[in-house]
Structure 1
Amino acid sequence: MKPVDEYFINQKEPYQSIMLYVRSVILNTLPEVEERYSYKIPFYNIAKKPIIYLNILKGKKYVDVAFIQGILLEKEFPILKNDNNRKQVRSIQLKTLEDLDQENFVKLLHTASDLLSKNEKAWFI
């Protein structure tokens, strides 16, 4: 079993269901994305550059769907929040599956992918 699969299996509900659903949306929306297990969490890369990662922050009760270049997306997608005062990363916090607006999330994924393809680096700050 791959480490990323093991990560998902070891999550408690409702986090496991939320993460598996978000994972399926990411993989179905962006077929070019590569799923990797880095820093003990799942990352999604395009052309070896990270675009998104999934995490459960210690002490928080939600799944953190974090966009690496989120600072460039937050005006167009106000659902992205700056949690933990991160310089570049912005994220969607999901407490339940119902918190995810799939149509808007798919648009966000496409926009993030386009943005990443135009930039040389994923981390620029």
Structure 2
Amino acid sequence: MKPVDEYFINQKEPYQSILLYVRSIIINTLPEVEEKYSYKIPFYNIDKKPMVYLNILKGKDYVDVAFVQGVLLENDFPILRNDNNRKQVRSIQLKTIEDLDYQNFIELLKKATHLLGKSNKAWFL
């Protein structure tokens, strides 16, 4: 079994269901995405550049769906939050599956892919 699969299997509910749901949307929306296991969490890369990662932050009660270039997306997608005062990353915090607006998330994924494709590197700050 791959480490990324073990990550999902080892999560407690409701986090496991939320993570698997978000994972399926990412993979089904972006067939070119590469799922990697880095820094002990799942990353989703486009052209070898990290675009989004999934995490459960210690002491928090939600799944953090974090966009590496989120600072460039937050004006168009107000659901993105600057949690923990991060310079570049913005994220969606999900306590339940119902917290995710499916259509808006797909638009966000496509826009993030487009932006990342125009960038030389994912981390710019």
- What TM-score does the superposition give when structure 1 sets the normalisation length? 1.00
User: Aligned residue for 2:121?
Assistant: 121
CA displacement at 1:19 relative to structure 2: 0.2
Alignment map for 1:18-57 (pairs within 5 Å):
18-57=18-57
Q: Distance in 1 between matches of 2:68 and 2:32?
A: 17
Equivalent position amino acid for 1:51 in 2:
M
Render the CA deviation track for 1:61-113: whole Å, top value 9, x for unaligned: 00000000000000000000000000000000000000000000000000000
**Residue aligning to 1:95:** 95
In the alignment, structure 2 segments of 5+ residues that lack a partner are none
- Give the structure 2 partner of residue 86 of structure 1: 86
Instruction: Verify: 1:64 aligned to 2:64, yes or no.
Output: yes
1:114: how far off?
A: 0.1
Aligned length: 125
After the TM superposition, which segments of 4 or more aligned residues of structure 1 sit over 3 Å from their partners?
Answer: none
Aligned to 1:4: 4
* Amino acid paired to 1:50: P
> Structure 1 residue 42: deviation in Å?
0.2
Structure 1 residue 119, shift from structure 2 partner: 0.6
Consecutive unaligned residues in structure 1, runs of 5 or more = none
